[in-house]
Each structure stands twice: as structure tokens, then as C-alpha cells.
Amino acid sequence: MNRTDFDFPEGHIPRRGRLMASGIILALIGSLACLNVVGTAFSMFTFGMLPTSGMSPDEAAELEGMRKMMRITNTINLLFYGGTTAFLLTVALGQIFLKRWSRPLALIIAWLGVYLGLFSLASILVTGPMMREMMSADMAMPSPSPGAGGAPAPPVSTVPPPDAFFGIMMAVMVAFFFVFGVLVPILLIWLNWHRDVRVTLEFCDRKERWTDACPIPVLGISVFASIAAISCLASLAIPWVPFFGQVLTGTPARLFVAAVLLLLLFISWATYRRMLAGWIAAVLLLLAGFVSTYLSLPSMDFADLYREMGMPSDLVEQFAGEDSPFRSFLQPSGLTLGLMVAAILPPLAYLLWALRFFLGRNRDSAPPEPA
């Protein structure tokens, strides 16, 4: 007999089915992330096995540059997808086995997913014209002309014209992010939102856990700061960061990133302990990052970054050359400012809303649970 089948608190209904469904969804998402780990590892192996025999010195140097870029990006991808897989599967098992710490983490994951999904959709729609311009240039097809001596014209290519192909690609991308970046996270929120879900977990797991030390909104700030700190490792591997109107590279960039990483760890620890200093540091860091990035846009030359990573010169020119449509996007404008404001407003509003948990009597109170 399952423990939720008897002696359950009066006035509440066991919600084990919701928790099982939430755990299965998280496990499936974690499995998809694991596929990226496998694919990245296979890519690293196969690319490293490419022979250089028979190549000219220039071709061999270009291949070595590509290997350098692949090593950096694949190592970052392995850390990111590996950590994501471990985190998602851990929370999924916690939900399936009715561990009380799993619900706060599942809600934090879901809300983060909604934010990232909506912002990704907005970014795709805004940058769509630039993507279309690049694709049109790459896929431009000359119209067929009659062959010599009046021979029939060569057969028309079966490749869809750029506009049609771009429309299909955009539809697939929008559908993907809408389903997996919006609908699925909202479903996870709904599955974990009811207060009987919390009661079910507290009944089946009587021991207080580390997630009980602070309200879920405060725990969210701490977890987000920890995730941001881990993401700083990528900037340590690729030392290239904006800094109030300029771009830092090399040792200065690594020192700056290390300082930001330590600050994020402090924010994570201080907010978990509900210290006002941690909340203030989070707000200031968020605003400083926004201002620094916007002021540094004119100085951002991604061509130098790509060359440093070993990207071939033709790809550098395509993605960051003078004629690249994306180059104009990296200049201060209403479009870039609008996207940046759209990115910063939700976390800033969240921090302002959570301030009440760091002040006065609200420090020792938890928010009311949903019905």
C-alpha cells in the first residue's frame, strides 16, 4: 500500500499523478539534453580524427584552426548539456519518488523555461529579416537559360526558393520554441502549482530539506545566480567580454569574469540566507550588465572573436564581415535597445517583486500557497 493511500491530511487530495507526470516530462527533457551530450562527444571524436595528409600548409592550418574552435565550443557544450542533463534528471527522479525538494526546483525550471522561450520567440521574429537576407544571398539561384544550339534548358533545381525555404524554417523554429519553450513549461507549472502537490510531498517526505529554508521566489534568485555563475566558465575559456564601451580580452577579461563569478556566488549565498545585501547586489549587477553591454555595442567586433576561436576566414566574413546583415544589428539602435529592454525587464520586475521577502516582517513569512 502506498503511503498516500492512508492517513492523508483532511481536506486535501493526494496529487501523486501530477508529480509523476511532471517527473516524466522533466526526464524526457533531460534525455533530449543527454542526446546533445552524446552528439557533441561524437563530433569532438570524429573531427579530431580528420587526417591532414595530402593537404596544403594553408589547408592544414585552416583545419587546425577549426579544430581549436570545435574544442572550445564542444567543451562548453559538454559542460552545459551535461550539467543540464544531470540537473533535470535529478529533479525528475525527485518528483517521481516524492521528494519535497523537487517541487520548488521544478517550478524554478519551469518559470525559467517560460522566460527563455518567450524571449527566444521574440528574438527569432525580430531578427527574421536579417536571417532572410543572409539566406537569400546564399541560396540565390540563376534562372535557367536555353542550352547551346537551342537545346532544352537544364532542369530546374528542386531546392525551394529562398523565401519558401525561409518561411518553412521560421515556422518550424517558432513552433518548436512555442511548444517546448512556452507550452511545456506552463504545463510543468500547472502540474506543480496546486497546494495539494506541496501537501503530498510534505506528507510523503517528512524531513525538512534545504529548499524549505526560504520561500520559492527567493530560492529562485539563488538558483538563477548559481546558473549564471556556472555560465561564466564559458567566458573564462573564451576571454572576450563587453565592459562599459570597450571589449576586454585576454587576462583582463578573465580577471573581470572571475570577479563577476565570485559576485554571483555571493548573490546566490546571500539571497538564500535572505540578506538584503544579496538582493541589492543582484539588482546592481543586472543594471550594470545592461548598461555595459549597450555602451559596448559599437566596440564589439565579432570577427576578432571568431578569428581567435579559429573560425575560417570565409565564415568570419559571412557572419561578421562588413557586409553581414547582422553587423548592423550590433550597433546601438531602437531595435537592439528594444530587445535588450525586453530581456532585462522580466528579471528586474521579478527582483522588485521579491524584495518583500528581504524586508522587515516579511523576511520570516512565506507567500501563500495557491489553491
Between 57 and 108, residue with greater pLDDT: 108
- Domain around 27: 11-48+57-138+163-211
User: Does 275 reside within a domain?
Assistant: yes
Q: Is 38 within a domain?
A: yes
| For range 171-197, the mean pLDDT | 91
**What per-residue confidence (pLDDT) applies to 90?**
95
H/E stretch holding 249: strand 246-249
> Which element (helix H / strand E) includes 24?
helix 16-48
The verdict on 206 and 68 lying in the same domain is yes
Domain-terminating residue out of 154, 187, 211 = 211
C-alpha cell at 155: 532542369
Whole-number Å distance between alpha carbons of 157 and 144 = 9
Task: Output the CA angle 5-8-10, nearest 5 degrees.
Answer: 135
Q: How confident is the model at residue 131 (pLDDT cuts 50, 70, 90)?
A: low
Residues 176 and 43 in one domain: yes
Of 155, 186, 211, the domain-final residue: 211
Would you place residue 4 in the very low, low, confident or very high pLDDT band (cuts 50, 70, 90)? very low
pLDDT at position 144 over 50: no
Domain boundary (211, 240, 269) is at 211
- Percent of the chain with pLDDT strictly greater than 90: 37
Statement to judge: residues 185 and 304 lie in one domain: no
Q: Within a domain: residue 81?
A: yes
Distance CA 17, CA 191 (A): 9
| Residues 246 and 199 reside in one and the same domain | no
- For the chain, how many residues are written? 371
- Longest Cα pair distance anywhere in the chain, in angstroms? 92
**Number of structural domains in the chain:** 2
CA angle, 99 then 14 then 220, to 5°: 45
* Best mean pLDDT range from 73-77, 157-161, 257-261: 257-261
Nearest to residue 328, comparing CAs of 284, 298, 350, 306?
298
Identify the residue with better confidence: 87 or 1. Answer: 87
Task: Say which range, 9-13, 32-36, 192-196, has the weakest mean pLDDT.
Answer: 9-13
Instruction: Indicate if 275 and 367 belong to the same structural domain.
Output: yes
Number of Cβ within a 10 Å radius of residue 230 = 15
Q: Which whole number is the average pLDDT over 128-149?
A: 56
Q: How far is CA 17 from the centre of its chain?
A: 29
CB-neighbour burial class of residue 43 (10 A; exposed 0-12, middle 13-18, buried 19+): middle
From the list 186, 114, 187, 197, the residue with the least C-alpha distance to 371 is: 197
Look at residues 96, 123, 74 and name the one whose alpha carbon lies nearest to residue 30.
96
Within-domain flag for 156: no
- Grid cell in block for residue 44: 569532438
Tell me the mean pLDDT in the region 295-302: 74
| Residue of 238 and 305 predicted with greater confidence | 238
Question: Per residue in 58-69, pLDDT tens?
Answer: 666 666 666 766
pTM of the model: 0.79
